[in-house]
Amino acid sequence: MHKSTEAVSALYAETDGLTRLLTRSALLDRARAITAGERANPRRPPVWVMIDLDHFKSINDRHGHAAGDRVLTATGGLLRRRLRTSDVVGRYGGEELSVLLEGLTPDAAARLADRLRGELESEEFAGQDGAPPFRATFSAGVAPLLPGMSWEDWRDAADRALYEAKRAGRNRVVLAGDAPVAARQSDRSVAA
């Protein structure tokens, strides 16, 4: 193989075909590198944002899998457009996405995640077979990399914050150890 062909093959191997984000394994490789590099600045530690689309099974059941794919594709596109090229963005699995941010405080990362949440919430998706348009939302957990944490500890902290956001009613962002950053209830039609 040519070097350029090898580079293209490696890129495709690291890229999720639907969302065009990093694959889970490529994302986890980046997380391991960040924790191994011990680049954690106590004032601005790297931050893991775990995102899960709310009621995704319901979207697929009500509007079809093609609509679910459109929501995933749109969410991936939103993240690619709004985040820096230096940020690590990947599809963690199914309807879960992850972002690894450096150079932001945990509070700033939570505010960023909340702005992204609001942008997705405002987007309309076409319903199936003439059904009315629908909206999608996500919940997110945000966790800074603390001294002594392994990448697994870091991921688990973000995951726990995500599940706290889900328990608190979804469509919100929770910073590990804090109350929800956003607990907005929308009067617009959100996929149930």
* Rounded-to-integer distance, Cα 113 and Cα 137, Å: 12
Residue 121 falls inside a structural domain = yes
Residue 152 falls inside a structural domain = yes
Q: Is a pLDDT exceeding 60 seen at residue 184? A: no
Q: Tally the domains of the chain.
A: 1
Residue 24's domain comprises 3-175
Q: Mean of the per-residue pLDDT values for the chain?
A: 87
Kindly list the catalytic residues: 95
Residue 184 falls inside a structural domain = no
Residue 181 falls inside a structural domain = no
Residue 68 falls inside a structural domain = yes
**Cα angle: 112, vertex 69, 16; to 5 degrees:** 70
**pLDDT digit string, tens, across residues 27-59:** 999 999 999 875 555 667 899 999 999 999 999
The one-character DSSP state at 91 is E
Check residues 38 and 86 and name the one with the higher pLDDT: 86
Residue 30 falls inside a structural domain = yes
Residue 106 falls inside a structural domain = yes
**pLDDT digit string, tens, across residues 138-183:** 999 999 999 889 999 999 999 999 999 999 999 999 999 875 554 4
Residue 186 falls inside a structural domain = no
* Rounded-to-integer distance, Cα 108 and Cα 37, Å: 22
**H or E segment and range at residue 57:** helix 56-63
* Rounded-to-integer distance, Cα 27 and Cα 148, Å: 20
CATH number at residue 108: 3.30.70.270
